[in-house]
Amino acid sequence: MSKEKILVVEDEPLVGEEIREDLERLGYVVPKLLSTSDGIAEEVNRCQPDLILMDIRLEGSADGIDAAFRLKAEFDLPVIFLSAHSDQETLARAMLTAPSAYLLKPFNERELAANIAMALASFRKKPAASPPVRGSASLLACAPLLMALDEPAIILDPSGLAVCANKAALAIFGLVDFDDLRGEPLTRFIDMGTGNRKSSSPLPDAVRFAVAADGAVRQFTMRTKPLIGALDEDLGSLVLLDPFGEA
């Protein structure tokens, strides 16, 4: 039976207790329940957890996302975010911490178990010399958060090439497999109406068109949000598509 330690940081004490019960039933050790962002680093130093379950909405000097930034700069630990919120701003900020997963409340024990197992397994496979994440981790680590968005969304690298996309975005282009989009500029699929762009800088809201694989011409507006790392480095951009029918 697994004996990994999981530190739980949850704003609602009753929810925290339910999570503790689930984790202990799954064979994990929960050394502490915290309800604010204050004192997290000290507790990590004391109990040396293998993973942190972090609520995003926290009282204290920082919310869960800011706390994760600080922890990943000091400790090399996987973090799974817990939240009832999936708004764009929250997800865009959370992406920059390269979390192992993003669980939307309410979630069940099976979802919790699967995400923890995958996070721990992925973390064990990291090279021993891998440096702590400081907000400039691979954008591929943002994929779990991208999937939490209901609207079509794509992440581009700083040169404007697709790094990952959710199913809603692939559907606009009539694609099933992301490999058909990976490493490609959006201009291959979308009529930007602004010429041949080579920058990932934000585009103004405007109607765009895409010809899907089935020949359908779909209309949408497109917004991009720059993804800036903790050291102000350009990580790329988050592209949000808002479809409104076929041309």
SS3 assignment, position 197 = coil
Q: 101: which residues sit within 8 A by CB, 6+ positions away?
A: 80, 81, 115, 118, 119, 144
* % of the chain at pLDDT higher than 90: 23
- Whether 119 is covered by a domain: the verdict is yes
| pTM metric for this prediction | 0.60
Domain contains 145: no
Residues 213-234 have a mean pLDDT of 75
* Residues paired with 101 in a beta bridge: 80
- Both 113 and 179 in one domain: the answer is no
Q: What is the CATH number of the domain that holds 90?
A: 3.40.50.2300
For 221, the 3-state DSSP assignment is strand
Top-confidence residue, 36 or 245? 36
pLDDT at residue 65 greater than cutoff 90: no
- % of the chain with per-residue pLDDT over 70: 78
| Reported confidence tier of residue 130, pLDDT bands at 50, 70, 90 | very low
Q: The domain spanning residue 224 has which CATH number? A: 3.30.450.20
170, 61: one domain: no
How confident is the model at residue 27, as a pLDDT? Answer: 94
Question: What pLDDT score was predicted for residue 28?
Answer: 95
Tell me if 132 is assigned to some domain. Answer: no
11 and 117 share a domain? Answer: yes
More confident residue, 199 or 33: 33
Same structural domain, 89 and 164: no
Q: Is the pLDDT of residue 132 over 60?
A: no
Higher pLDDT, 202 or 54: 54
Residues 14, 115: one domain?
A: yes
Residue 46's domain comprises: 6-124
Burial 166-176 (b: 16+ CB within 10 A, else e): bebbbebbbbe
pLDDT of residue 203: 43
Q: Out of 34-48, 87-101, 172-186, which region has the weakest mean confidence (pLDDT)?
A: 87-101
Report, as an integer, the average pLDDT of 101-116: 90
pLDDT value at 21 more than 80: yes
- The residues near 3 (Cβ < 8 Å, ≥ 6 apart) are 27, 28, 29
Q: Give per-residue pLDDT as tens, 229-239.
A: 555 667 788 88
Average pLDDT over residues 217-242: 77
Give 161-209 pLDDT, tens digit per residue.
888 888 888 888 888 888 888 888 888 888 765 433 444 444 445 677 7
